[in-house]
C-alpha cells in the first residue's frame, strides 16, 4: 500500500482502514464497511469543498452551488481515483469493475472516509485540497476566459476553431440583446447577452459545461 499512500500524500496509522476502503461493496462480505466509508467520505469531501469555495470566491449562493456540483461530481472523483491509481489496488467481485467509472469514483470517497477516521478533519482537508488542486484551477480558467479555453480545446482536438454566429439582435438600438450560436467539438449552444462578446462568452461557457457533464 506504500505506493498508494505516497500518491495520496498520507500514511495510515491503521492500515486496516485503508484495506476496508479498497474492498468494494461487490464483495458482499465487505459491503457494509465500504458503503459506510463512502458515505462518510462523500460528506467530508462536500464540507471541505464548500469551505474552499466560501473562502476563495465571492459568488452568490447559486453560483457557489454550481461550483460545488462540478468539484464533487462523479467525473471529478473518477479523475482523482485515476490520478492516485486506485484501480490498481481496489478489490472487486469482477475485473471489469476495476475500470468502471462509478466504482472508482465511489472508491476515492471511501478512501477519503478512511483518512478522516484515521487522521481527523484537518488531515482529510489537507489531502483533499492537494488532490483537487488541478480541478479547482481548471474551473478558474473556464470562469475567466471561456472563449479562450474552448478555442484551445477545439484546436487540440481537430485543429479547428469554434464557429460563432449572431442569430438575432432584438430590442432598441441603444439597448440591444444579442443571440449567438456556437458550434465546437460536436456541440452546439445558444446564449444571449447585451453585447456580441458577452453572448459569445456565455455560449462558450455552455459548451464547456456540457463537456464537463459528459466527461
CATH number, domain with residue 37: 1.10.1520.10
Q: 126, 141, 156: which is the final residue of a domain?
A: 141
Predicted pLDDT of residue 143: 56
Nine-digit cell string for 29: 462480505
Per-residue pLDDT averaged across 57-85, rounded? Answer: 85
> Do 111 and 17 share a structural domain?
yes
**Torsion angle of alpha carbons 86, 10, 35, 69, nearest 10°?**
-80
Per-residue pLDDT averaged across 122-142, rounded? Answer: 86
> Do 156 and 124 share a structural domain?
no
Predicted pLDDT of residue 144: 53
Q: Which residues are catalytic?
A: 42, 109
Number of domains in the chain: 2
> Do 112 and 18 share a structural domain?
yes
CATH number, domain with residue 186: 3.30.160.20
Residue-number span of the structural domain to which 41 is assigned: 2-141
Model confidence at 145, pLDDT cuts 50, 70, 90, reads confident
Neighbouring C-beta atoms of residue 18, cutoff 10 Å: 22
Q: What is the pLDDT of residues 23-53, one digit of tens each?
A: 999 998 888 999 999 999 999 999 999 999 9
> Do 26 and 101 share a structural domain?
yes
> Do 175 and 113 share a structural domain?
no
Q: 141, 167, 186: which is the final residue of a domain?
A: 141
Q: Write down the H helix ranges in the chain.
A: 2-8, 15-21, 31-56, 61-71, 74-84, 101-119, 121-131, 133-144, 146-158, 196-214
> Do 103 and 90 share a structural domain?
yes
> Do 133 and 62 share a structural domain?
yes
Q: DSSP class of residue 183?
A: E
Predicted pLDDT of residue 215: 56
Predicted pLDDT of residue 64: 84
Closest CA to 147 of 188, 200, 184, 97: 200
Percent pLDDT > 90 in the chain is 59
> Do 82 and 24 share a structural domain?
yes
CB 81 within 8 A of CB 108: yes
pTM of the model: 0.67
Least confident of 24-28, 67-71, 168-172, 190-194: 67-71
Cell 476553431 belongs to 161
> Do 19 and 102 share a structural domain?
yes
Q: What is the pLDDT of residues 174-190, one digit of tens each?
A: 888 999 999 998 889 99
Per-residue pLDDT averaged across 56-74, rounded? Answer: 81
Percent pLDDT > 70 in the chain is 97
Is the pLDDT at 105 greater than 60? The verdict is yes
Phi first, then psi: what are they for 190, rounded to 5°?
A: -125, 140
Predicted pLDDT of residue 22: 96
> Do 151 and 109 share a structural domain?
no
> Do 203 and 161 share a structural domain?
yes
Predicted pLDDT of residue 141: 52
> Do 47 and 65 share a structural domain?
yes
Q: 141, 163, 198: which is the final residue of a domain?
A: 141
Amino acid at each position: 500500500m506504500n505506493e498508494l499512500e505516497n500518491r495520496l500524500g498520507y500514511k495510515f496509522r491503521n492500515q486496516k482502514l485503508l484495506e476496508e476502503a479498497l474492498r468494494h461493496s461487490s464483495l458482499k462480505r465487505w459491503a457494509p464497511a465500504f458503503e459506510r466509508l463512502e458515505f462518510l467520505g462523500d460528506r467530508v469531501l462536500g464540507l471541505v469543498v464548500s469551505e474552499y469555495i466560501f473562502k476563495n470566491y465571492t459568488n452568490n449562493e447559486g453560483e457557489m452551488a454550481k461550483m460545488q456540483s462540478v468539484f464533487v461530481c462523479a467525473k471529478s472523483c473518477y479523475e482523482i481515483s485515476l490520478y492516485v491509481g486506485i484501480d490498481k489496488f481496489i478489490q472487486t467481485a469482477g475485473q471489469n469493475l476495476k475500470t468502471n467509472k462509478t466504482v472508482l469514483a465511489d472508491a476515492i470517497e471511501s478512501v477519503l472516509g478512511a483518512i478522516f477516521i484515521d487522521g481527523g478533519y484537518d488531515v482529510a482537508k489537507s489531502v483533499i485540497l492537494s488532490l483537487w488542486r488541478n480541478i479547482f484551477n481548471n474551473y478558474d480558467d473556464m470562469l475567466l476566459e471561456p472563449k479562450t479555453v474552448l478555442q484551445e480545446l477545439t484546436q487540440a482536438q481537430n485543429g479547428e476553431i469554434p464557429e460563432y454566429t449572431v442569430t438575432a439582435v432584438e430590442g432598441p438600438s441603444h439597448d440591444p440583446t444579442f443571440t449567438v450560436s456556437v458550434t465546437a467539438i460536436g456541440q452546439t449552444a445558444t446564449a444571449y447577452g447585451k453585447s456580441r462578446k458577452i453572448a459569445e462568452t456565455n455560449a462558450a461557457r455552455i459548451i464547456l459545461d456540457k463537456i464537463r457533464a459528459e466527461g
